[in-house]
Amino acid sequence: MSAVPIIDIAPYVHGDAADKASVAAAVDDACRDIGFLVIAGHGVPDDIVAAMYESAAEYFALPYWEKMRLKMPPDRYRGYTPYGAETLALSLDEATPPDIKESFSIGPFGHAADVYHFGDQGYRYFAPNMWPQLPDHMQATWQAYYGEMNRLAGALMRIFALALGMPEPWFDDKIDRHITNFSAIHYPAQSEPPSDAQLRAGAHTDYGSLTIVQTNTDVGGLEVQDKNGTWSLVPIVPGTFVVNLGDLMAEWTNDRWVSTMHRVANPPRDRAGQAKTSLLFFHQPNYDAVVECVPTCSGPDNPPRYTKTTSGEHVTAKINKHREL
């Protein structure tokens, strides 16, 4: 397994067909090899990222009781998740102590008030977001960041289609009403050593099509596991985002592409006083998008390995395993 590659996607955005094909080929190599890539040339304004970190810092500094006013309810993924409420390793049936983190999550907004979004199937995925009174402008800041991630994810899915030998718009009608959750996650300073096997985020794979990650330090950082079981730090490069594949994309591509185990490590004890914040856009296709083998990913000697499912069924089963309700 190679190191996580850095790929400039600006030639895809601004270039010709040859430029697009070159970017797609590099993405295909990364997705086959490690399922992680670092992207430059994404076009996300620096001030929007900075504003998100500022807003997240103000929110997580609020008193515990104030944050608990908007504790995440059991029937949707919106609001505040306190320390000890999630154990990501449980999604892979690995029993470990709870993860050392807290988070606040939002989902899609501005959608039509119709049966698709608020009927029996859709209501849990399009539930209204929960906004605290403080900090000021939190809603506007988070929605602006979500909008930028939505744009970037759409571009990445088009690159993915080309990388898989499919027409560029092949995923478009599968993500035009996506159910993506965005979470700001705060990993606190660790004044006391954690319990045995306890991490900031336990070893897991992500669930959906792709995850776009922005983080403010590599102290106690994101680590990826290679095929030999060795853990290595994912590089933090200023002005870039980390992108990793989820289980849904691995199944969609018949394991041509990999959803790789990763974790968030604890900081070394000599730097345990350093907290960490990460911004994660968990891109998830439309809840009724049918997920079955991409036509270019199977053949007579490589039949489809997974049964047909939908995006909503897949992600709901995964989330319910890691939440401590």
The yes-or-no verdict on residue 288 having pLDDT over 60 is yes
Q: How far apart are CA 130 and CA 106, in angstroms?
A: 7
Q: pLDDT per residue over 52-71, tens digit each?
A: 999 999 999 999 999 999 99
**How far from 317 is each of 101, 114, 309, 312, 320, CA to CA, in Å?**
22, 25, 11, 9, 5
Contacts of 161 (CB under 8 A, 6+ apart): 167, 168, 169, 170, 171
Instruction: Give the tokens for residue 209.
Output: 């099509």
DSSP E strand stretches across the chain:
6-8, 36-40, 79-81, 102-106, 181-187, 201-204, 210-215, 222-225, 231-233, 241-245, 262-264, 276-283, 290-291, 309-310
Mean of the per-residue pLDDT values of the chain: 93
Burial 146-162 (b: 16+ CB within 10 A, else e): bebbbebbbebbbbbbb
Tokens 């470990």, residue located: 96
Q: Please give the CATH superfamily to which domain 6-322 belongs.
A: B-lactam Antibiotic, Isopenicillin N Synthase; Chain (2.60.120.330)
What are the tens digits of pLDDT across the range 179-207?
A: 999 999 999 999 999 988 899 999 999 99
For the segment 82-138, what is each residue's pLDDT rounded down to a tens digit?
A: 988 888 767 767 778 899 999 999 999 999 999 999 999 999 999 999 999 999 999
User: In which element (H, E) is residue 162 found?
Assistant: helix 138-163
Instruction: Please report which confidence band the pLDDT of residue 163 belongs to, taking 50, 70 and 90 as the band edges.
Output: very high
User: Which pLDDT does position 325 carry in this prediction?
Assistant: 40
Residue found under tokens 């899609």: 108
Q: How far is CA 126 from CA 105, 115, 228, 286, 287, in A?
A: 13, 11, 40, 11, 10
What angle, 0 to 180 degrees and rounded to 10, lies between the N-to-C axes of helices 17-33 and 138-163? 90
pLDDT at 183: 98
What's the mean pLDDT in 204-219? 94
Place of tokens 């909008």: 147
Task: At 75, list the tokens.
Answer: 């029937």
Rounded Cα–Cα distance for residues 195 and 166 (Å): 47
User: Does the pLDDT of residue 75 top 70, yes or no?
Assistant: yes
Decide if pLDDT at 235 tops 90.
no
Q: What local confidence, expressed as pLDDT, does residue 228 receive?
A: 85
Confidence band for 317, pLDDT divided at 50, 70 and 90 = confident
Q: What is the pLDDT of residue 85?
A: 84
Assess contact for 225 and 233: CB atoms under 8 A.
no
Mean pLDDT across the stretch 216-226? 90
**pLDDT reported for residue 321:** 62
pLDDT at residue number 37: 96
Structure tokens at 135: 């900090």
pLDDT band at 322 (very low <50, low <70, confident <90, very high): low
- Given a cut of 80, whether residue 323 has pLDDT beyond it is no
Mean pLDDT throughout 132-148? 96
The per-residue pLDDT for 227 is 82
**Predicted pLDDT at 218:** 87
* For the chain, domain boundaries: 6-322
Using the CB atoms, write b or e for 52-81: b if 16+ within 10 Å. bbebbeebbebeeeebeebebeeebbbbbb
pLDDT at 92: 67
**Rounded Cα gap, residues 224 and 279, in angstroms:** 17
Q: How much is the pLDDT for 1?
A: 44
Find the mean pLDDT for residues 6-16: 96
pTM of the model: 0.95
pLDDT of residue 266: 94
* 287, two tokens: 């809840």
Pair of tokens at residue 156: 């990445």
More confident residue, 316 or 72: 72
Position 22 pLDDT exceeds 70: yes
